Amino acid sequence: MYEVELKVRADHGPVRDRLDALGARHVGAVVQTDTYYDAPHREFAETDEALRIRQEVPADGDQQAYLTYKGPLVDEQSKTREEAETAVADGAAAADILAGLGFEPAATVRKERDQYAIGEQTVTLDAVEGLGEFVEVETEVESADEVDPAREEATELLGRLGLDPADGIRTSYLGLLLAGGSGNSHE
């Protein structure tokens, strides 16, 4: 599976207004804590991969945990990556398993997310601790042949939200935090 994603820095107020005007459906709000891991057998920073455990607390308070692998970026225009994710019953136990295999925590990213649905696209308003506010437009597709059309749809939706796709940031939140919070459209 591929996660096709475009991300820009943006003030959430005007975007919420546009989402309402477009008839977007509010999906929910969550607080996420992502712990990223270094591998004992290769440098993820060099291979452009990521392994994380996400602890997620939705508004209903039922904490959930996910183990996620993200492959290298697959194009020059977006944050599209192959991704594999699965729910885990116990995030702490998953962390213990990774530690037992030699994986070490590298960094933690905390964010508040507010998600909306428009057609097949998900629009996420992220408030990232230490970085500020961002808007992501994303969808998941099964094959590489579907990536370009999905990216074009995401680009079009960013425009409808009053955001400039040319301001896109390809750097992950982890990368932005590690770089001291900077990020431009060509990272």
Catalytic residue among 36, 37, 116, 173: 36
| Cα 169 to Cα 77: distance, rounded to the nearest angstrom | 9
The predicted model scores a pTM of 0.83
Domains, the chain, with CATH or none? 2-178 (2.40.320.10)
What is the tens place of the pLDDT at every residue in 65-104? 999 999 998 877 778 889 999 999 999 999 999 999 999 9
| Cα 24 to Cα 21: distance, rounded to the nearest angstrom | 8
Q: What is the average pLDDT value for the chain, to the nearest integer? A: 91
pLDDT at 38: 93
First to last CA, the chain: 24
**Known catalytic residue: 36?**
yes
Tell me: pLDDT of 63 over 80: yes
